[in-house]
Amino acid sequence: MSPPTPDEAWARLREGNRRWASDTAIHPHQDRARRAEAARKQEPYAVVVSCIDSRVAPELVFDTGVGDLLSVRSAAQTIDPLVSGAIEYGPAELGTPLIVVLGHQRCGAVAAAAHALHEQTTLPGHLQDIVEALRPAYRRAHGNVDKMIRINTADVVSKLKSDKLLAARIARKQLKIVGGYYSLDTGQVTRVV
């Protein structure tokens, strides 16, 4: 089977999310036959870059199964060189046609960063790296956490679109990068960019 186009991949994710949000999930590709098929070769149709939040599992949110997604998770879907390399792997090595950067409602990492920036405090360990990654969104959102989430999502999409390895695939229309926002209340994903 040929890989889907970027638009077909996005349509599959949207349809899966509709099922999830309406409590009609079908849990596809989660049986022994799919495990055996995926054990031989993986052909994920999307990379989902999302937060580590336990309530935002991409395979559930998009009602997918084994081998459908490459999930890359970090606090507030922030990226650094290692995370960027993980994201690049799907399109560059497997021909994955879609990257979705998925922010979400009531993100604890964003709220903690906003609080630290507002109070001008330094968080311990590498948590401060997350704060620094979110500082530009904090400034533009004037401290509003929900706006920060959406701005950061758009910023990550923009950074990925300017990535040399990914930009070449975008120019050839082999790849699309979109930003989404997941509502914890409704289960729905809406497009940000």
pLDDT digits over 14-42, tens only?
A: 999 999 999 999 999 999 999 999 999 99
pLDDT at 154: 98
Q: Which of 111, 13, 127 lies closest to 71, judged by CA?
A: 13
Please check whether residue 30 is in contact with residue 23, taking contact to mean a CB–CB distance below 8 angstroms: no
Cα pseudo-dihedral 74, 77, 82, 87, rounded to 10 = 110
pLDDT digits over 55-78, tens only?
A: 999 999 999 999 999 999 999 999
User: Using 50, 70 and 90 to split pLDDT, how confident is the model at 125?
Assistant: very high
Q: Tell how strand 69-73 and strand 46-50 pair up.
A: parallel
pLDDT digits over 141-158, tens only?
A: 999 999 999 999 999 999
pLDDT at 2: 60
- Cα angle 37, 29, 98 (rounded to 5 degrees) comes to 90
Structure tokens at 69: 């997604």
Q: What residue ranges define each of the domains in the chain, with the CATH number in brackets?
A: 6-191 (3.40.1050.10)
Q: Tell whether the model's pLDDT for residue 108 goes beyond 80.
A: yes
Counting every residue written for the chain, the total comes to 193
